[in-house]
């Protein structure tokens, strides 16, 4: 199930589904240790007139979005049957590990009524379903869920009073769906403790006049020990929940307010999505440097796994967007992370966890009885390109000097070694789509860009021998890309696919075009690039009713229907928009880019951008949100803004 909201502070991240239920709760790393299990949710329900309605039962009209330029979730929920209206402002407090909801419930009936609000907690602490304990702690008027060094303190107040009722019981075991079922008659059993697979429910009971409201604050404080959790509760009560909501909103408005950009020609929807995208990718950033691909644990991909890892490539493109927007401290933390994970051999592996440990992989180290390096070489190369882009903006020379030998030189020397000495092209590795073991124009172009970045670093630091070596290798590679990967018959760059003999794969691929353009193998106005663009734009959009660009011809990953060449991806569609920006020489030519930006904004769902879309109706497919999609949207809007400004001056 797609996520409609993600909130975070670099240690704790919380995701909501479309019903305002909490579906993911990460701590102490963003993306590692999800404390809500697959199929579980923290539920919200209202009991009135002898009937309970949970937010996911179909009776509610729900809208969830970010408050303006702030990482505060604003949910509205209307139940016309029960005549109940709810507004909820939700935060992950930016200073401490506290999730907090400010819930305003209004009785829209013409008569006063007794109304009960139920909040349910379904934890699967540390991603395991055994040995959890939950108990009611009367001294703190809280429910405590714990296992080992993970303690969740649940509580709240309404009219300065704690919850009126509670219960704890089994969830998903012995035929028990969960203690939330105990709420459906409006009365909880007050079972005070249970262990194993457990959940809990708390409730408030109030008489509410016609068209009047109550306000309640609900929180989950998370810590490694009981004492720390108790200190967080003391902090909430001392500072007041209202202060935490207000100060969190103020912090994020100040944070987004640092971006200097003009949105001339773009809609308010596109402008809002730009700021929302900054907030989404920030919520996916762990304070120890990792940038998560997606916090959406509901998306299950190859091998039954999720996107809850750091792919160095995806993360680097996201760090690059942070640099474009001026948030250099976040991207610097990522490059510290990259320096830490680089192997002694000078390359990075498939993917990683936020604690810097190795993530899962499906790339074999032996194929057809032969040893191979199980990497995507572009994931190493992009780090050098991104780091140079970081340096030319942040100008943090001391940082660059500190990692030159351990990271820049080591990675560049690996890229030089990992080549076919007879062709000067890179040796085969898995492509950026993680499918083919090949020599791809995208990877080869990134290696060229990486060696040129290493040359720039070496020249800046006065390391002349290194600079000469990196530059000469880069130029040999550029010549090889143009002579061996360009196909004059197809008028496109093509992959060399691994087999008995490396042969050209004539299936057109958006990345084969984007790599040579983005990383400087050919200039954007080179006739070959212009001709290639027109061919790919036509063939990679065939049969896609809603517009957009597929990854490559015949893409079957989550493919919907048989009419289209593939599903449109947000990333590839925005890549083509970026090329249009690069070659635009007039405001009229920029109009096409505006259409692309607005196309993306129109298909955003609750400010979340997925990986790909249904080619017939535009519904989100695969991970949602996908950090890389948001990063490319940010880049595209910034590049559009700069080009628009330069054309206006001209």
Summarised one tens digit per residue, pLDDT across range 214-243 is 999 999 999 999 999 999 999 999 999 999
- How would you write 58-89 as a 3-class SS string? CCCEEEEEECCCCCCEEEEEEECCCCEEEEEE
Mean pLDDT, residues 189-218 taken together: 96
**Do the Cβ atoms of 376 and 431 come closer than 8 Å?**
yes
* pLDDT reading at 300 higher than 90: no
Using CA atoms, how far apart are residues 268 and 105, in angstroms rounded to an integer? 29
Q: What is the residue-wise DSSP string for 309-360?
A: SB-HHHHHHHHHHHHHHT-HHHHHHHHHHHHHH--TTS---S-B-TTS-B--
DSSP state of 127: G
Mean pLDDT, residues 447-474 taken together: 98
Q: What is the pLDDT of residues 312-344, one digit of tens each?
A: 999 999 999 999 999 999 999 999 999 999 999
pLDDT, residue 304, reads 75
Residue 151: burial class (beta carbons within 10 Å; 0-12, 13-18, 19+): buried
Structure tokens at 255: 């944070």
Using CA atoms, how far apart are residues 200 and 171, in angstroms rounded to an integer? 9
pLDDT, residue 172, reads 80
Using CA atoms, how far apart are residues 431 and 551, in angstroms rounded to an integer? 12
User: Of the candidates 328, 222, 351, 337, which has an alpha carbon nearest to the alpha carbon of residue 288?
Assistant: 337
**Do the Cβ atoms of 315 and 297 come closer than 8 Å?**
no
Using CA atoms, how far apart are residues 142 and 153, in angstroms rounded to an integer? 6
Q: What's the maximum distance between 2 C-alpha atoms anywhere in the chain?
A: 85
* pLDDT reading at 500 higher than 80: no
pLDDT, residue 366, reads 95
DSSP state of 567: P
pLDDT, residue 121, reads 97
pLDDT, residue 96, reads 98
Helix, strand, coil content of the chain in percent (nearest 5):
35, 25, 35
DSSP state of 361: -
Mean pLDDT, residues 269-275 taken together: 98
pLDDT, residue 303, reads 66
**Do the Cβ atoms of 438 and 495 come closer than 8 Å?**
yes
Structure tokens at 189: 């059993």
pLDDT, residue 496, reads 87
Positive or negative: CA dihedral 403, 404, 405, 406:
positive
Structure tokens at 97: 């590990």
pLDDT, residue 372, reads 93
Q: What is the pLDDT of residues 146-155, one digit of tens each?
A: 999 999 999 9
* pLDDT reading at 385 higher than 80: yes
Q: What percent of the chain has pLDDT over 70?
A: 99
User: Of the candidates 226, 217, 302, 268, which has an alpha carbon nearest to the alpha carbon of residue 69?
Assistant: 268
Q: What is the pLDDT of residues 342-375, one digit of tens each?
A: 999 999 999 999 999 999 999 999 988 999 999 9
* pLDDT reading at 1 higher than 70: no
Using CA atoms, how far apart are residues 444 and 377, in angstroms rounded to an integer? 9
Q: In 375-524, which residue ranges form alpha helices assigned H by DSSP?
A: 377-394, 397-402, 410-417, 441-460, 464-480, 510-518
User: Of the candidates 420, 477, 483, 438, which has an alpha carbon nearest to the alpha carbon of residue 454?
Assistant: 477
User: Of the candidates 289, 374, 302, 313, which has an alpha carbon nearest to the alpha carbon of residue 32?
Assistant: 289
Q: Given strand 568-569, what is the order of strands in its sheet?
A: 549-550, 568-569, 612-613, 620-621
Q: What is the residue-wise DSSP string for 571-609?
A: HHHHHHHHHHHHH--SHHHHHHHHHHHHHHHHH-BTTB-
Mean pLDDT, residues 519-543 taken together: 97
Q: What is the residue-wise DSSP string for 142-207?
A: EEEEEETTEEEEEEEEETTB--SEEEEEESSBTTB--GGGGGGGS------EEEESEEEEEEEEEE
pLDDT, residue 176, reads 84
Average pLDDT over the chain, rounded to whole? 96
Q: Which CATH number fits domain 44-256: 2.40.10.10, 3.20.20.80, 2.40.50.140, 2.70.98.10?
A: 2.70.98.10
Q: What angle do CA 288, 292, 294 make, to 5 degrees?
A: 155
Using CA atoms, how far apart are residues 86 and 105, in angstroms rounded to an integer? 5
Domain boundaries in the chain? 44-256, 260-287+540-650, 316-521
Q: Which CATH number fits domain 316-521: 1.50.10.10, 3.20.20.80, 3.30.420.480, 3.20.20.70?
A: 1.50.10.10
DSSP state of 303: G
Residue 47: burial class (beta carbons within 10 Å; 0-12, 13-18, 19+): buried
**Do the Cβ atoms of 14 and 27 come closer than 8 Å?**
no
Mean pLDDT, residues 461-477 taken together: 98
- Tokens 């001026």 sit at which residue? 326
The pTM (predicted TM-score) of the whole model is 0.97
Using CA atoms, how far apart are residues 136 and 154, in angstroms rounded to an integer? 10
Mean pLDDT, residues 524-536 taken together: 97
pLDDT band at 618 (very low <50, low <70, confident <90, very high): very high
pLDDT, residue 499, reads 58
Positive or negative: CA dihedral 563, 566, 569, 572:
negative
């Amino acid at each position: 199930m797609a996520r409609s909201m993600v909130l975070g502070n670099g240690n704790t991240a919380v995701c909501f589904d479309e019903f305002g239920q909490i579906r993911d709760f990460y701590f102490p790393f963003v993306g590692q240790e999800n404390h809500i299990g697959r199929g579980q949710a923290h539920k919200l329900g209202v009991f009135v007139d002898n009937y309970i309605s949970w937010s996911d039962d179909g009776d509610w009209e729900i809208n969830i979005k970010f408050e303006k330029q702030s990482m505060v979730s604003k949910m509205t929920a209307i139940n016309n049957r029960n005549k109940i209206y709810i507004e909820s402002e939700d935060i992950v407090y930016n200073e401490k590990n506290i999730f907090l909801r400010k819930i305003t419930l209004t009785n829209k009936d013409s008569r006063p009524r007794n109304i009960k609000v139920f909040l349910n907690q379904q934890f699967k602490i540390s991603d395991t379903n055994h040995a959890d304990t939950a108990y009611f702690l009367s001294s703190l008027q809280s429910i405590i869920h714990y296992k080992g060094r993970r303690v969740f303190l649940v509580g709240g107040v309404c009219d300065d009073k704690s919850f009126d009722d509670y219960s704890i019981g089994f969830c998903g075991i012995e035929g028990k769906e969960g203690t939330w079922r105990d709420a459906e008659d409006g009365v909880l059993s007050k079972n005070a403790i249970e262990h194993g697979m457990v959940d809990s429910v708390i409730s408030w009971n109030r008489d509410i006049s016609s068209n009047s409201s109550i306000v309640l604050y609900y929180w989950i404080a998370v810590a490694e020990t009981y004492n720390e959790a108790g200190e967080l509760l003391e902090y909430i009560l001392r500072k007041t929940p209202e202060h935490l909501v207000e100060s969190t909103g103020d912090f994020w408005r100040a944070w987004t307010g640092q971006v200097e950009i003009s949105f001339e020609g773009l809609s308010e929807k596109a402008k809002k999505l730009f700021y929302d995208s900054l907030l989404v990718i920030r919520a996916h950033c762990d304070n120890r440097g990792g940038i998560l691909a997606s916090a959406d644990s509901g998306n299950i991909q190859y091998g039954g796994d999720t996107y809850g890892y750091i792919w160095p490539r995806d993360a680097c493109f996201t760090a690059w967007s942070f640099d474009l927007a001026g948030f250099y401290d976040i991207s610097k933390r990522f490059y510290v992370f990259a320096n830490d994970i680089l192997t002694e051999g000078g390359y990075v592996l498939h993917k990683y966890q936020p604690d810097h440990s190795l993530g899962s992989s499906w790339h074999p180290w032996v194929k057809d009885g032969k040893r191979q390096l199980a990497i995507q070489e572009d994931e190493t190369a992009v780090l050098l390109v991104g780091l140079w882009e970081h340096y030319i903006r942040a100008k943090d020379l001391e940082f660059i000097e500190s990692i030159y030998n351990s990271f820049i030189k080591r990675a560049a020397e690996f890229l030089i070694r990992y080549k076919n000495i007879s062709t000067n092209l890179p040796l085969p590795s898995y492509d950026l789509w993680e499918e083919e073991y090949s020599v791809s124009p995208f990877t080869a172009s990134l290696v060229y860009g990486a060696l040129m970045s290493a040359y720039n670093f070496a020249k800046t630091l006065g390391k002349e021998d290194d600079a000469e070596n990196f530059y000469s290798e880069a130029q040999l590679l550029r010549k090889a890309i143009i002579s061996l990967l360009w196909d004059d018959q197809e008028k496109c760059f093509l992959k060399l696919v691994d087999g008995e003999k490396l042969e050209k794969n004539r299936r057109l691929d958006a990345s084969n075009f984007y790599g040579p353009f983005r990383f400087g193998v050919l200039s954007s106005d080179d006739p070959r690039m212009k001709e290639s663009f027109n061919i790919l734009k036509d063939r990679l959009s065939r049969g896609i009713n809603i517009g957009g660009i597929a990854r490559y011809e015949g893409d079957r990953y989550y493919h919907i229907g048989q009419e289209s060449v593939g599903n449109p991806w947000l990333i590839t569609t925005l890549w083509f928009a970026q090329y249009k920006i690069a070659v635009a020489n007039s405001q009229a030519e920029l109009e096409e880019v505006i259409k692309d930006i607005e196309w993306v904004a129109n298909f955003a769902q609750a400010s979340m951008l997925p990986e790909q879309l249904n080619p017939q109706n535009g519904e989100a497919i695969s991970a949602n949100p996908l950090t890389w999609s948001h990063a490319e949207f940010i880049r595209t809007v910034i590049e559009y803004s700069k080009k628009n400004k330069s054309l206006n001056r001209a």
